[in-house]
Each structure stands twice: as structure tokens, then as C-alpha cells.
Amino acid sequence: MKQHPLAKEILFTDKQIEQRTKEVAKEVKAYYEKTSDSENTLLVIGLLKGCVPFYQTFCMNYEADLEMDFMVISSYLGGTKSNGEPKINLDVNSSVKDRDILIVEDIIESGITLDYVRKYLLNKGANSVKILTMLDKPTERKVDIQPDWVCYSIEKHFVIGYGLDYQEKLRNLPYVAICDTEKLASWKW
């Protein structure tokens, strides 16, 4: 796929993301081999919709047993910034009690949504809740939360592609790019 006109600069290609995700999957596996009971299969929860490409890449490269589940948490409402009020639209179907949970996220900015979800899962009885993110914007943090594993830290840019969207569009770009926000004002879909 050629570069989309709204992609101002490609930060990471799909091949770069896949390679880095393979490395991180090994780190995650090594961690859980040391800390988790062998009967406590890792529950990997993806936060829809943005996580899908990264979640799939991670799960396909995680070389140990895992269970997959999803949650839908709304906090963006189609804009370029979080409105800061997370709401669970779809809860996990799996029991989380006494489970080791890995949340897989596309990007952490304010951290408000992840802090909310982490506390929610711990309150439901999870043994542990760790966080893996494809992208981290530590300068945007509004709460004290740190991911346990990060593929890439980025500066304060609005990014699109590889699951990241603008008004539900551009998630299918096979790369992460800085969005040309100046073009958005007059962009015709």
C-alpha cells in the first residue's frame, strides 16, 4: 500500500512493528515463566478497536499458551484527544478472578483509560494486571501509570495506522504515521 495523503511521515513500518513485537513477546514470555503458576494461563485482553493489528501480531508471536479476550472502552468519541471519561461498552467474557492478565493496547497517552481498566480488573479479583503497548506517549500522561512493556515511545504527535484511527478511518494502514492534521480540516473522504 502506498503512503496515504494524510500520512505526513511514516514512523514505523509493519515489518519494523512485527520485528519489535517478536522481541517483546519473548520478554513477556520470559517474565511469565518466572512469575506465573503453570496452571494460570495468561489472559490477554485487547482493548478494541485500535489494538487489533498489534494484538494479532503479539498473540501470533507469543510462544506459550494464552487465552484471548477483549474489552471495548470508549474515551475518544471520534476526535483526536481523549475526553478523559472512560466507559466500558463491552466487558470481558472470561473470568478474571485469580488470573494473570496482560492488557494489550495500541497507544498510551493520558493513561486514564488504562488506569481505569487496570483498577477495574484488579477489583474483579485478578491476580496481576500488566500492560503491553505498541506506542507510548509518556509526555501526555495525566495519571501515574506506566506500561510494563513498550514497543516504541513517541513524541507528541497525532498518529494513524496499524489500528490507530481518525474518526474510525485509517486503522488499516500497514504502518504507523504522523497524521497531517492541517489537511484534516478540508479533507474529503
Going residue by residue through the chain, which has 189 residues, state the pLDDT in tens, using 9 for 90 and above.
689 999 999 999 999 999 999 999 999 999 999 987 777 899 999 999 999 999 999 999 999 999 999 999 987 555 555 555 788 999 999 999 999 999 999 999 999 999 999 999 999 999 999 999 999 999 999 999 999 999 999 999 999 999 999 999 999 999 999 999 999 889 998
14-77+84-155, CATH topology level = Rossmann fold (3.40.50)
SS (H, E, C) the chain: CCCCCCEEEEEEEHHHHHHHHHHHHHHHHHHHHHHCCCCCCEEEEEEECCCHHHHHHHHHHCCCCEEEEEEEEECCCCCCCCCCCCEEEECCCCCCCCCEEEEEEEEECCCHHHHHHHHHHHHCCCCEEEEEEEEECHHHCCCCCCCCEEEEECCCCCEEECCECECCECCCCCEEEEECHHHHCCCCC
Q: What are the sequence ranges of the domains in the chain?
A: 14-77+84-155
